[in-house]
Amino acid sequence: MRLPKPIQNAIDWLRFDVASRVDRRVLLAGGGALLVVLIVVLALINPFGGGNGGGTKEVTIAVATDNAQQAPVGVLGFPLVATRNTTRISGPDPVDDAAAAALATHPPAPEAAKLEAVSLVPDDGWQAGIAASVLAGPPMRFPVLISQHGAVPDASTQALAQLDPQGGGASGDVQVYAAGGASVPSGLKSQEVPGDSPAEIANSIDQLRQRVTRQEPEHIVLASSDQEGYAMPAASWAARSGDPVLFTGRNQVPAATMAALRRHAAATVYVLGPESVISKDAVKQVGRVSASVQRVGATGAVQNALLFARFSDGTFGWNINDPGHGLELANTDRPLDAAAASSLASSGKWGPLLLTDTTDALPPELRSFLLDIKPGYETDPTRAVYNHIWIMGDATAIGGQVQAEIDELAELAPIGAGGGAGNQGTANGGIAQPGGPEGEPNPTTSTTPSGKKK
């Protein structure tokens, strides 16, 4: 059978596979270099014309970078790669996720500004990754990649080769900023970000941020150095805003963090997490050197991320209380996915990082939030606003059924009898303002420098 010329030309340079049964695999870019993966399953007797052929046929079309490898994605390709309203960064670990996200957000467009530098953090240093996320947003846009101690993963090496940081600008001739002892590939001009503890590394990253941008921060996010799930949402906001992330223990604020707070005494400090994560005593210590301290915290990492996504205080906070936004979703078991997603949060459809603490079920609070901001239209769907969610990690992090449910919750819906979208029905888009459950105190509190509540 002679195929139409456009199809034949495509097959000449794309992988073509005809099988009697569906192969549960799809090409993914090796080294985290995934750009686009398209799977077309044609369950037709003869997908290209007339005739009486037999058996189910499959055509696999993949567009990817070099060094592609096979990875499991499920019975059908699309539901675990991309759906109508979701895109998956399908790495087996945060190393691959970070490489893929960096390439997705820094495509080699002919007129695009050259990338100056990247940040490298160790695979055992999620705190360094979250702190370095402040460099991933404008004006620097240094994506976060993940390395190791004594070796550089192939995914990061290949991503660095394709990103090709040039140095220059405010970074001088530095191409790679390495934190926490992360190894750097040979041949690149690198600079070590000093510090042994999370607080010291975050303090050094803030000093680097200030040197490169020559700007004082208006706000600071104070996050837990011990409980990663509560700290993860800080990464996306840091990239979005340029506000640095500093770290504290539950009851004691480290000296390096106090030094940074003194350096930015006029900045408002937002404590991310409830008192069980960062205590009143720690907040009082901060209040002695900072002009204003405010807590944004809810019990549970999933709930805390949702509260932070909803929160707004002047120029601080995402204020996601209506439809028409980008979002990222990561599993709390993979905290470095927060750093990997930071470039996604500050480009394309900007938006906060949401969390799940399970693989195969959507937390009810997260489902409620997505339903609340579900987009709708009355007469013309082409004039509506849309939600888009990046899914961080493969199906071992966030399952395919969960992705399908998220896609349905993000899908544009007609507004009317029996079809009202979730964002309709209240003056605030159908979603409550930040606070506790009905009848409970608001978990967001503000304190004076003395530590007393306002």
- 109: CB partners within 8 A, 6+ apart: none
Into how many domains does the chain fold?
A: 2
Contact 80, 400 (CB under 8 A): yes
> Quick check: is 449 in a domain?
no
> Quick check: is 285 in a domain?
yes
Is 47 found in the same domain as 111?
no
Cite the beta strand spans of 304-395 per DSSP E: 326-331, 353-356, 376-377, 388-392
> Quick check: is 165 in a domain?
yes
Distance CA 40, CA 56 (A): 13
The values of phi and psi at residue 280, to 5°, are: -60, -35
Q: What is the mean pLDDT of each run of 10 residues along the chain (454 residues)?
A: 47 38 36 36 31 36 34 49 94 97 93 93 98 96 97 97 90 93 96 98 98 95 98 98 98 98 98 98 98 97 98 98 97 98 95 98 98 96 96 96 96 73 40 36 40 38
Predicted pLDDT of residue 64:
35
Cross-strand pairs, 28: 69
The whole domain housing 23 covers 5-75
> Quick check: is 427 in a domain?
no
Predicted pLDDT of residue 414:
95
Is 382 found in the same domain as 348?
yes
Predicted pLDDT of residue 447:
39
Predicted pLDDT of residue 169:
80
Is 151 found in the same domain as 63?
no
Is 66 found in the same domain as 195?
no
Residue ending a domain, choose from 75, 96, 117: 75
Predicted pLDDT of residue 421:
55
Is 197 found in the same domain as 268?
yes
> Quick check: is 64 in a domain?
yes
Is 248 found in the same domain as 197?
yes
* Total-model pTM: 0.78
| Mode of pairing for the β-strands spanning 144-147 and 118-122 | parallel
Is 272 found in the same domain as 158?
yes
Task: From residue 406, give the alpha-carbon distance in Å to each of 259, 279, 327, 381, 384.
Answer: 42, 34, 11, 20, 19
DSSP-based three-state secondary structure for 253: coil
Is 36 found in the same domain as 162?
no
> Quick check: is 454 in a domain?
no
> Quick check: is 435 in a domain?
no
Is 181 found in the same domain as 49?
no
Is 293 found in the same domain as 146?
yes
Residue ending a domain, choose from 75, 98, 119: 75
Residue ending a domain, choose from 52, 75, 98: 75
Is 115 found in the same domain as 241?
yes
Q: What is the DSSP letter of 440?
A: S
> Quick check: is 227 in a domain?
yes
Closest CA to 105 of 388, 414, 341: 341
Is 98 found in the same domain as 70?
no
